Structure 1
Amino acid sequence: MPTKTNRRGKLRWRGVVKQNGKIAASRWFGSGKKEYRKAVVWEEETRKWLQEEAQQKTPTDCLNLLKWGNNYLDFSERRFSGKTYKEKKRAVQRFLLFTTKEGRGLEEMNAALAMRFLQAQFDERSGYAANKDRKNLAAAWEWGRKYLDGFPREKVNPFTAVDKFPEERKPRYVPPLEDFDAVLAKAEGQDHVMLTAFLHLAARRGELFKLTWQDVDFINKQVCLSTRKTRGSSVKQTWLPMSTELRKELLWWWENRPYKRARHVFTMLEDSCSPRHNPGGPFKTRQHFMKTICKRAKVQPFGFHAIRHLSASYLYRIGKPLSLIQRILRHEAPSTTERYLKSLGFNTEELHEAVEAFSERGPAQVVEFPNEKAPGDEAPRA
C-alpha cells in the first residue's frame, strides 16, 4: 500500500512495488485523497504488468511491443549515461504498462494509440512530461526500425505523428551574484574551492565530481572537464582556462587536502556517519549541501546547475562575446547556447580574458581547516 513520505520538505504519497523483497518500481504522487487512490491504482497495475513481464516467455520469434521495448533498453543501458538510461526506462515502462489494455502487437501500433498514451501523461503529469516521453519513445521506434528484424519499417513513427503538447515550465531560478557571494562567504575549505570552480568553469555537477588531479594543469593554467552530454553520448574532454583566483584556490587545496592519495580533486571528508559515506572517495550527489549553505547565508535556495546559468549570465552582462560563452559552456550546437544567450565568434586569447573576469570581482578569502598530511605526494603539473 502507498505510504506518505516527506519529499523535499512536503509530505507526498509514494507508490512502491516489490519483487523478491526488492523495490522493482516506485512513483511519487501528491498529498491528497485523490492522489492516494491514484497511487493504489498505479501499484495494482504496475504489479500486474511486472508479473506478466516475468511470465512472458518467447514461444515464437514474433516481434511485439514488449520485445521492442526490452531490446531498446538493453541497447540504451550500454550506450547512454545512467541518468539518460533511467529516463528512457521509465518512459518505456509507462508505455508498456499502458498497452496492457490496448494490445501488444507492433502491427497494431499507430498514432491513435500513441496519442492516447501521451494524452494520459499530459493529463496526469504535465505537457513537459508528455513531450519528454514522446521524444524517448520516438527515438526507440527509430532504433527499432533501423536494427530489429521483423520491425514494420514502412509504418510512420507513431510518436512523432503526435503533435507536441503545450508546456508551462517555470523559468529556472538564477541567483544574483550577490547571493552567490554570500553563500561563498559561508563556505570553508574544500567547499569554498568547489563553489569557486563551479562559477569560474561554468561546470556541471558531474564534471566537477569526476575531476581528477591529472585534469588540472597548473603550469598552463588549464582544467580538463569531461562530459557525456554529446550527440552520440561519447565522452568529450575540453580544456578550459583557469582563472587566477581559481588557480590560487586549487593550489591551496592541493597543499591542504586531507587525503593525499585520492585521485579526485573533490572528495568526501570525515563529516558524515552515513553508511554510504566513503571518506576519500568522489562525491555522487551532495543532495542537501546547497540547501543547507543557502539557509546559512540567508538567501533563496539554488542548486549547482543554477551556478552554471549564473556564470553565463554574468559573462553576458559584462559584455563578453556570446560565442565565447558557448565555448565556456561547452555546447556543441549554437542553438543550445541561444537558449541561454546567442552565438558569435571567439579566439583563445579572448577566452582567457573572459574567464579572468571572475577574478576581477576581487578574491574571496579561503577559510582553512585541519588536514591530514601524508608524505610521498607530487603536485600535478605544477
Structure 2
Amino acid sequence: MSVYFNKRRKWWEYYFRHNKRPYTKAGFKTKKEALAEEAERKKEVKQPQRPRTEQIDMDFLTLCNRRLDYLAAYRSDRHYQDTVYLAKRWVKQWSDKTVHEISTESVQNYLIEVCKAISAQTANKELRGLRAIFNFGVKKPNRWFNHNPTDDLDFFPVEQKKKYVPPIKDVIAVLLAASGEFQDYLWTIALTLGRMSEVNRLEKSDLDFENGVVTLYTRKSKNGNLTPREIPMTAKLKEVLLN
C-alpha cells in the first residue's frame, strides 16, 4: 500500500516508485491529505517531459525519519536515542526545507553557532550526525538524491586533553564508600573492566560459575550485532555475583 500510517511517528506517509525511482513524503495528519499529495506528486513525475536525471525532492523531515527507522532496526538503542536528540534540533532548523534547499553555508552557519554556544566537540558530533543523515540518502541502496551539503565542511579544531585515570586507591575508596547493590554494581564494572552498557545487559545465562567465566556483550561492529567476549571470574567477582 503506497499510503500508510506510521505507528512510531503517529502520522501518515506515502511511498511509491516510478521508473524504478522512489518518491516519499511524511508528516500528514490525515490519510486524505496523504492521498491528495500522493496523487498530485504522481501527476508530476509521470509527465513525459520530466528529466530522467532528476533526483527526489525529499523534505528534510522525511529523511530524518527514514534514518531513525533504520537506526531503530539495525543499531543500538543508545545510538538511536542519541540521533533522536540531535534530529530534534536539526528539524527545528530545517523542518520547512527539502534536502536540495539545505545549503553548505546554512549547515556551516548552524554548526558555528553550536560551537560558540556549546563547544567545538558538540559541533563536531553534530557534523558527524548530519553527514551520516545525508549520506544515508545519497549512498546505496537508497540513492534518493546526490546532494550532501556537509561534504566540504571541516571539523572544528579541538584541544586534546589527557584523560584522567584515577589511581587504584581512589577506585577502592569509591567502592568502599558505596553500599548494597550499588557497591556490587561498581565491583562488577571494576573487576570485569566492562562498559556500563555491557554490565547492564548481563543475564544469568552469561554467568558460568562452573568454568569461572563471565560473558559480556557489546555493539562495536559496523552492522550493530552484539559481540560476546569472555572475562575470567575472579574469586571476588564470583562472591559479588552470587550475592
Q: Is the strand fraction higher in 1 or 2?
A: 2
Question: Does the alignment reach a TM-score above 0.5?
Answer: yes
- Gaps of at least 5 residues in structure 1 are 1-52, 254-382
1:142 corresponds to: 135
Asked if 2 retains the 8 angstrom alpha-carbon contact of 1:201 and 1:240, the reply is yes
**For the aligned residues, what is the CA RMSD?**
2.5
Decide whether aligned partners of structure 1 residues 92 and 225 sit closer, same or farther in structure 2, where only a CA change above 3 A counts: same
Q: 2:150 aligns with which of 149, 156, 159?
A: 159
Alpha-carbon distance, 1:130 to partner? 0.9
| Counterpart-to-counterpart distance in 2, 1:195 and 1:221 | 19
Asked if 2 retains the 8 angstrom alpha-carbon contact of 1:223 and 1:242, the reply is yes
Q: 1:242 aligns with which of 202, 227, 233?
A: 233
| Counterpart-to-counterpart distance in 2, 1:66 and 1:191 | 42
Q: 1:75 aligns with which of 51, 56, 70?
A: 70
1:110 corresponds to: 103
Alignment pair present for 1:186 and 2:177: yes
| Counterpart-to-counterpart distance in 1, 2:141 and 2:110 | 25
Asked if 1 retains the 8 angstrom alpha-carbon contact of 2:214 and 2:230, the reply is yes
Instruction: Report the secondary structure of 2:97's partner residue.
Output: coil
Instruction: Report the secondary structure of 1:161's partner residue.
Output: coil
Q: 2:89 aligns with which of 94, 99, 112?
A: 94
| Counterpart-to-counterpart distance in 1, 2:161 and 2:223 | 29
1:64 corresponds to: 59
1:45 corresponds to: none
Alpha-carbon distance, 1:193 to partner? 3.1
1:76-132 Cα shifts (integer Å, max 9, x gaps) = 2222222211221222222222125xx612223332222122222212221111111
2:200 corresponds to: 209
Decide whether aligned partners of structure 1 residues 188 and 122 sit closer, same or farther in structure 2, where only a CA change above 3 A counts: closer
Alpha-carbon distance, 1:245 to partner? 2.8
Alpha-carbon distance, 1:181 to partner? 1.1
| Map 1:1-382 → 2, pairs under 5 A | 58=34, 59-60=37-38, 61=41, 62-100=57-95, 104-145=97-138, 146-148=140-142, 151-153=144-146, 155=147, 157-168=148-159, 171-251=162-242, 253=243
Decide whether aligned partners of structure 1 residues 105 and 193 sit closer, same or farther in structure 2, where only a CA change above 3 A counts: closer
Asked if 1 retains the 8 angstrom alpha-carbon contact of 2:68 and 2:80, the reply is yes
Asked if 2 retains the 8 angstrom alpha-carbon contact of 1:222 and 1:240, the reply is yes
| Counterpart-to-counterpart distance in 1, 2:154 and 2:164 | 29
What is the identity, as a one-letter code, of the residue corresponding to 2:74?
R
- Gaps of at least 5 residues in structure 2 are 1-26, 42-56
Asked if 2 retains the 8 angstrom alpha-carbon contact of 1:95 and 1:117, the reply is no
| Counterpart-to-counterpart distance in 1, 2:231 and 2:66 | 39
| Counterpart-to-counterpart distance in 2, 1:188 and 1:96 | 44
Asked if 2 retains the 8 angstrom alpha-carbon contact of 1:77 and 1:85, the reply is yes
| Counterpart-to-counterpart distance in 2, 1:54 and 1:174 | 51
What is the identity, as a one-letter code, of the residue corresponding to 1:244?
A
1:238-263 Cα shifts (integer Å, max 9, x gaps) = 11112233234334x1xxxxxxxxxx
Decide whether aligned partners of structure 1 residues 172 and 54 sit closer, same or farther in structure 2, where only a CA change above 3 A counts: farther
Question: Among the aligned pairs, what percent are the same residue?
Answer: 27
Q: Greater relative contact order: 1 or 2 (C-alpha under 8 angstroms, separation 6 or more)?
A: 1
What is the identity, as a one-letter code, of the residue corresponding to 1:148?
N
How many pairs does the alignment contain?
195
Alpha-carbon distance, 1:215 to partner? 0.9
What is the identity, as a one-letter code, of the residue corresponding to 2:109?
R
TM-score by length of 2: 0.70
